[in-house]
Chains A and B, each alone.
Chain A
Amino acid sequence: MSDVTTLAFETDCHIFDGCGFPAPGLHSFVFEPLFTVGGIDFNKPMLLALLGTLAIVGFFWAAFNKPKVVPGKLQLVGEAGYDFVRRGIVYETLGKKVGEKYVPFMVSLFFFVWMMNLWSIIPIAQFPVTSIIAFPAGLAAIVYIMWMYLTFKKHGFVGGWKNVTGYDKSLGPILPLVVVLEFFSNVLVRPFTHAVRLFANMFAGHLLLLMFTIASWYLLNDIGIAYAGVSFVMTIAMTAFELFIQAVQAYVFVLLACTYVQGALAEHH
């Protein structure tokens, strides 16, 4: 039986050879460090995160470096991307006046999450950086601290807690239930699901792609070649599906971040 933690291409075993299927698992998300700098291991996801950041900064720099009234091609694309987040997400949830100051943060968040997701289907890299829980957890923590701070700054200490627990005197007898449920929902469940939604989508998507790719390679033996063809078609289909899901998850991440900020800044009734 092949050892469960070796990568598929390291063994030369196919179906009917007597060794088991080298299934993907948690071990597929652990990487040997490329080099070590001052006690910190630098591995492939970190490299991809760095390259992705440089790509986004480089793109927006090139697009808006010398802006013209009649935009050139790169500026057009940059403006389209910026406007998509500004009008489609921030203005929809926060409104024009209040939302304007959150647009740069939301634009950066959207393109960062989308780029980190896109590494899953870019050849040679082929690893979604956001499938490592640290990245979505860090981003969700930033959003969480941001809206917690905003609600307490706007409403004061007591008002902040009233906002977070959904306290509303006119609710009457069900008020204690609402307070407890809203507290757990806002303070505990929201940041958790915010991070885990993005993480689990990318984790499961990467596992799916791995499964079909390894199966296509593993089945290349005798009669299995026909099935390897089917598996390869599934790989292509899953890649197209992942392309869609990555954009949707980035969109939903930023949409929910704006919704939480809007809830924090909402006036009490």
Chain B
Amino acid sequence: MSAALQNIAAVTGDLKALGSIGYGLAAIGPGVGVGIIFGNGTQALARQPEAAGLIRANQILGFAFCEALALIGIVMPFVYGS
């Protein structure tokens, strides 16, 4: 068991691109989140087209909050990387 773990540790130590895997995992949540935001926003627009300005402003705000997490994910590998 410990030999297999040592093997894995040795292999991943050589992998300098673990940051990209980290980002890929980090982008799952915000991907779903952005989809929910704009999906519900489109539905709201369809129900009440006269509220377009209000809905769009809230969509953009929600999108920015969600995107921030994905972008922190892309920056972290550079912070921790060599």
Contact = CB atoms under 8 A, between A and B. Distances in A.
Interface of A: 25-26, 88, 92, 193, 196-197, 199-201, 203-204, 248-249, 251-252, 255-256
A249 B64 contact: yes
Contacts of B44: none
Interface in B23-82: 57, 60-61, 63-64, 67-68, 71-72, 74-75, 78
A102 to B, nearest CB: 18
Contact of A248 (B64, B72, B78): B64
B64 A26 contact: no
Given A248-B60, A251-B60, A252-B60, A193 B75 contact: no
A197 B67 contact: yes
B72 A201 contact: no
Interface of B: 57, 60-61, 63-64, 67-68, 71-72, 74-75, 78
Contact of B68 (A26, A88, A200, A251): A200
Given A197-B67, A197-B68, A204 B74 contact: yes
Contacts of B74: 200, 203-204
Nearest to B75: A200
6 contacts: A26-B78, A88-B57, A197-B68, A197-B71, A201-B71, A204-B75
Closest 9 CB pairs of A and B: A200-B71, A252-B64, A197-B68, A200-B75, A204-B74, A26-B78, A193-B68, A204-B71, A201-B71
A196 B64 contact: no
Given A26-B78, A203-B75, 16 more contacts: A193-B68, A197-B64, A197-B67, A199-B75, A200-B68, A200-B71, A200-B72, A200-B75, A203-B74, A204-B74, A248-B63, A251-B60, A252-B61, A252-B64, A255-B57, A256-B61
Contacts of A252: 60-61, 64
A200 B61 CA distance: 16
A141 B63 CA distance: 23
Contacts of B57: 88, 92, 255
Nearest to B73: A200
Nearest to B74: A204
A201 B60 contact: no
A196 B68 contact: yes
A26 B78 CA distance: 7
A197 B67 CA distance: 8
A194 to B, nearest CB: 9
B78 A201 contact: no
Nearest to B79: A26
B6 to A, nearest CB: 29
A251 B61 CA distance: 9
A200 B71 CA distance: 5
Contacts of A204: 71, 74-75
Contacts of A251: 60
Contacts of A199: 75
A253 to B, nearest CB: 9
A92 B57 CA distance: 10
